[in-house]
Amino acid sequence: MKFLHCADLHLDSPLRGLARRDGAPVGVLRGATRVALEQLVEVAEDEQVGAVVIAGDLYDANRDDYQTAVFLQRQLHRLRDSGIRVVLAYGNHDAASEITRRLSLPENTSVLPATDPGSVVLDDLGLACHGQSYPTRVVDQDLSAGYPAPIPGLVNVGVLHTSLDGRPGHDRYAPCTVEGLVRRGYAYWALGHVHQREAHVRDTVHIVFPGNLCGRDVGETGAKGATVVEHDGETVTSTTAVELAPVRWHRLRVDAPDAVSVAEITEAVLGRLDGVRRSSPAALHAVRVTVDAGPRARGEWARHAEQCEVQLRADAAGGDGALWIEQIALHPASDAAVAVSDEAMAAVAGTVASWRSAAAGDGRLVELLGALRSRFGAERDEAVRLGALGLDDASLPSLVDEAEALLAAELRGGG
């Protein structure tokens, strides 16, 4: 017998700033959470699971839209038509007090109560699900402490939206411990709220965060999906993570300290991106790239940055468009070779240090901008594009980095 555990669907969660990203596959990204849920239903049917257990955050609190509710309803009906039960507990984003535009759920779907812990017993599936939905967005007490006692002869599942004892990047909601959950005597804990997959096994008790169903930005990297749980009617016999997201986000750091040209930077990046593509051939890969490169290559890149970025994005996308570079940044390589006199490099270092001081806000911003403008000379259009004209405090440090790369590159023969 099997059930499918998922959490943190965040249906139609808004993706900000995509329109300003060059070549962003906006349609695919905006529809990704819906496609992930559709694929979850397909997996549930293919695996012939008896139930789908959802541990909170079907919606975002600020996504109070009937159309999102209609889409969810359609997927629940698909599960109903396949004879699959659904048990869910609402979390902080879709708490009872947060979402007003809900539709009545189909008869195959049971919601754990928000007032007190309760149980949904599915005798024909050998399953008992215990839990509590969030009554309000913020729940700072250990809900699991009041969960019902396990029912003998069934696989007992605790459904809980929690940060356990705290996880980076997640609010500390419904705090509890692995040890405390084990003591409840359940066979499996279906957790939600933490968007990275995490699993513990203690004395045959499985405690699992499946992660969110679909990554929504570069802060949610890697494979995303749900967990198929097999049981024998009393104990859990296996758990299997399944990838469902049509988009996989990556942070990629490319080390190219010996690169002396844009062509060599491009070659190094494309070589690494081949591995990214192979990691999940069916997904769209959205990648934030950071390159650690030597000053000569960075200087050449800085002089033609727009063209270089567009060319790299086009080469990376390939014929199928299955890879999109969300952002690319060049940083100084820590071990870049030094082939010029100490005196010359010291002069550059002193100049750049004074620029950085001005960028930090010591009152010499106007003087600094004048120095940067004179560096570009008559190339006014290039200065405007790079931001030397009309520059603000927030963008100044990055321009200082570019100017340093240009000066160092010219000293080393890269100009």
* 13-70 pLDDT, tens digit each: 877 656 556 678 888 999 999 999 999 999 999 999 999 999 999 998 776 788 999 9
DSSP state at residue 57 = -
Contacts for 232 with CB less than 8 Å, ≥ 6 apart:
1
For 156, phi and psi rounded to 5 degrees? -95, 125
CATH topology of domain 2-243: Purple Acid Phosphatase; chain A, domain 2 (3.60.21)
**pLDDT score at 380:** 45
- Tokens of residue 69, six digits: 């509710």
- Classify burial at 238, counting beta carbons within 10 Å of its beta carbon; exposed 0-12, middle 13-18, buried 19 or more: exposed
**pLDDT score at 166:** 83
∠ Cα 148 190 127 (to 5°): 60
- Tokens of residue 113, six digits: 């109560």
160 forms beta bridges with 191
Listing DSSP states for 152-202 in one string gives TTSEEEEEEE--TT--TTS---S---HHHHHHTT-SEEEEES--S-EEEEE
Low-confidence ranges of the chain (pLDDT < 50): 336-340, 377-392, 413-415
**pLDDT score at 338:** 44
Q: Are 233 and 29 in contact (CB under 8 A)?
A: no
- Tokens of residue 194, six digits: 């933490």
**pLDDT score at 168:** 82
Q: 331: helix, coil or strand? A: strand
Residue ranges per structural domain of the chain: 2-243, 247-337, 338-415
**pLDDT score at 396:** 58
Contacts for 314 with CB less than 8 Å, ≥ 6 apart:
none
What gap in Å lies between CA 303 and CA 381, rounded to an integer? 12
**pLDDT score at 313:** 94
CA dihedral 338, 343, 348, 349 (to 10 degrees): 80
∠ Cα 317 321 325 (to 5°): 45
Position of tokens 């690494």? Answer: 272
**pLDDT score at 355:** 62
Q: 135: helix, coil or strand? A: coil
- The beta-carbon contacts of 109-114 under 8 Å, at least 24 apart in sequence, are 109/76, 109/80, 109/85, 110/85, 110/86, 112/87, 112/88, 112/159, 114/90
Pairing of strands 2-6, 198-202: unpaired
Q: Are 132 and 147 in contact (CB under 8 A)?
A: yes
**pLDDT score at 337:** 44
pTM here is 0.80
Pairing of strands 155-161, 198-202: unpaired
